Amino acid sequence: MKVRTLKRHLIESLKSLKRNGWMSLAAISAVAVTLLLVGSFVAMLMNVNKLATDIENDVSVRVYIDLAADEKEQKKLETELSTLKNVDTVEFSSRESELKQVVGSYGNEFNLFQGDDNPLYDVFIVNTDSPENTAAVAKKAEALENVAKVNYGGATADNLFKTMNTVRNVGVIIIGALVLTAVFLISNTIRITIMSRRTEIEIMKLVGATNWFIRWPFLIEGALIGFIGSFIPVAFISFLYVTIYDIGTTYLSGTYFALLTPSPFLFQIGSAMLAIGIVIGAIGSSISIRRFLKV
Amino acid sequence: MIEMINVYKKYPNGITAVNGLNVRIEQGEFAYVVGPSGAGKSTFIKMMYREEIATKGTIKVGEFDLVNMKDKDIPYLRRHVGVVFQDFKLLPRLTVYENIAYAMEVVEKNPKVIKKRVLEVLDLVGLKHKIRMFPNELSGGEQQRIAIARAIANMPRVLIADEPTGNLDPDTSMEIMAILEQINTQGTTVIMATHNSQIVNVVKHRVLAVENGRIVRDQLEGDYGYEG
Ligand SMILES: Nc1ncnc2c1ncn2[C@@H]1O[C@H](COP(=O)(O)OP(=O)(O)OP(=O)(O)O)[C@@H](O)[C@H]1O
Ligand SMILES: [Mg+2]
């Protein structure tokens, strides 16, 4: 396509957008709302997925020591744990240091649990040689004496993955409905443009304009609606994510877990949203071009 | 140049508008198409620029085979065939200049070429001084002259006019005829369907009389041959 022609198509599309003012605005808003939800949702799912994977890859098993156990029994437990199969290291973490960590991540409210009010256990942090062995090690540790309870990442990860699946399925349905609404509103806007330009289309055909020359402005108009509509949610989500990331990083500092860093993530999700917006727009206009533009 | 052999056109509603029509029109000819209302004149003409597709038969316009041609080639046929209607079909929001330039822009002509050619055709139809006006500021005759200017802007080899004087008074009709004659003199084939007996009888050209979808009379320097 010649640059001149492209410019002409763009101008035609912008004129139509303006002429259809309210319809265009409705279609743009529909795209914006849809993408806001799509974007937030995907951002959330991807982070939960990241956390679940982090947890899954965590090789440690936390063995909580019975409060009644004395020092000798603790030593015995430590030896038993370190001789278990697939165990690399066993570290001791006292109730006090456990509480310090909690206060570090969740805030000073937990300070009132100092001293004898400390609700936490002494813990042996058992590192296995690979994530797959955590379940087996946990099971064996559970059977040992003076063990209050055992916790490992795999179980939590499994639960997270399950919840995520449900959330994803519900989300896909809601987003699907929203996408359809946006497509419908865009195709309606384009239909109105086509109707209002009937004479021009007739003359273009008569004097020998090619079919694609006639179609382009309508296609571009739809794509523009999608493009403009995706701008707002991209900006909004970027801002929101950076904020959440800062807060989340503070909470997760010192742990094995982290949120996805904004730098590649926001670019990826942002460009994906722009692309989705443009595709929704192009699909919406294609529907009307097929149905109402007889070329 | 234009050749139709045994052409039939049956509309989806069952009406056979063209019924075994044969004709040959050479480059540079001027031909009237006359006949009673409903005879099939407009259908006959529309098949020349593939607005309607023949149900049967052979239609050739220049090197184009209109029966077997692909849809994507239609625009290139249309660039060789200019069309003018009774109701002008000008774009109300565009000026005289823009209306004519529009026809050239949409076939991606060079802006410099467009500027020069628009002035040229406006000169030919004698309306250079109304270049900035809008269609609703023009008389019917003037609007038709703009429509003709637009139809020939892309230098078609054939100009087709379906009752171009249908909405105009006799004097204005004669002005339109003078323009069509001039375009014909420059080598463009002109085909004009009309009910205007006065024009046909005074401005003598070949006459193709259509009845019941057939050419029943083909007469050089012919006359109208029907009442009123
Ligand atoms: N699009 C169409 N669909 C169905 N029938 C049509 C269509 N166009 C024309 N006809 C029918 O075909 C026949 C020929 O019509 P056509 O318009 O070619 O006649 P015409 O000679 O141009 O008449 P007029 O002098 O009134 O313009 C008529 O019976 C008409 O009703
Ligand atoms: Mg007719």
Pull the structure tokens for residue B182: 């001039």
Please answer yes or no on whether B78 and A207 come within 8 Å at the CB atom.
yes
Identify which of A270, A256, A278 has the alpha carbon closest to the alpha carbon of residue A101.
A256
pLDDT at A168: 79
Continuous segment of H or E residues that includes residue B23:
strand B16-25
Pull the structure tokens for residue B71: 């849809």
Between CA A141 and CA A151 the distance in angstroms is 10
Give the model confidence (pLDDT) of B156-190 as tens digits.
999 999 999 999 999 999 999 999 999 999 999 99
Contact A110, A99 (CB under 8 A): yes
What is the B11 CA–ligand 1 centroid distance (Å)?
9
Asked casually if ipTM beats, i.e. exceeds, 0.85, the reply is yes
Find residue B191's DSSP bridge partners: B31, B160
- Residue B15 near ligand 1, beta carbon < 6 Å: yes
Nearest ligand to the CA of B195 is 1
Q: Which of B77, B91, B107 sits opposite A199 (nearest CB)?
A: B91
pLDDT at B82: 96
Give pTM, 2 decimals: 0.79
Closest C-alpha residue for ligand 1 atom 29:
B38
Identify which of B209, B126, B211, B113 has the alpha carbon closest to the alpha carbon of residue B172.
B126
Please answer yes or no on whether A199 and B75 come within 8 Å at the CB atom.
no
Share of chain B above pLDDT 90, in %: 97
Query: How far is the alpha carbon of A27 from chain B, nearest alpha carbon, in Å?
Result: 26
At residue A226, what is the residue type? G
Q: Does pLDDT of B59 surpass 90? A: yes
For A258, the 3-state DSSP assignment is: coil
pLDDT at B180: 97
Please answer yes or no on whether B75 and A8 come within 8 Å at the CB atom.
no
Give the model confidence (pLDDT) of A192-204 as tens digits.
888 888 999 999 9
Closest C-alpha residue for ligand 1 atom 27:
B37
Q: Does pLDDT of B228 surpass 60? A: no
- Residue B53 near ligand 1, beta carbon < 6 Å: no
Between CA A110 and CA A157 the distance in angstroms is 26
Ranges A94-98, A157-161, A192-196: which has the least confidence: A157-161
Between CA B157 and CA B93 the distance in angstroms is 29
Give the sign of the dihedral formed by CA A286, CA A288, CA A289, CA A295.
Answer: positive
For B157, the 3-state DSSP assignment is: coil
pLDDT at A295: 66
More confident residue, A197 or B116: B116
Q: Does pLDDT of B62 surpass 90? A: yes
Share of chain B above pLDDT 70, in %: 100
Average pLDDT estimate for A102-113: 71
Between CA B7 and CA B42 the distance in angstroms is 14
pLDDT at B43: 97
Average pLDDT estimate for A167-192: 86
pLDDT at B163: 96
Residue for token digits 């375009």?
B183
The one-character DSSP state at B167 is T
Nearest residue of chain B to residue A216 (CA atoms): B106
pLDDT at B162: 96
Report the residue count for chain A: 295
Is residue A211 less than 8 Å (CB to CB) from chain B?
yes
What is the A40 CA–ligand 2 centroid distance (Å)?
61
pLDDT at A105: 66
- Residue B99 near ligand 1, beta carbon < 6 Å: no
Q: Does pLDDT of A13 surpass 70? A: yes
Ligand 1 atom closest to residue B46's alpha carbon, by position in its atom list: 18
* Ramachandran category for residue A16: left, alpha or beta (phi over 0 → left; psi -120 to 50 → alpha): alpha
Give the model confidence (pLDDT) of B186-219 as tens digits.
999 999 999 999 999 999 999 999 999 999 999 9
Q: Does pLDDT of B65 surpass 90? A: yes
Ligand 1 atom closest to residue B43's alpha carbon, by position in its atom list: 18
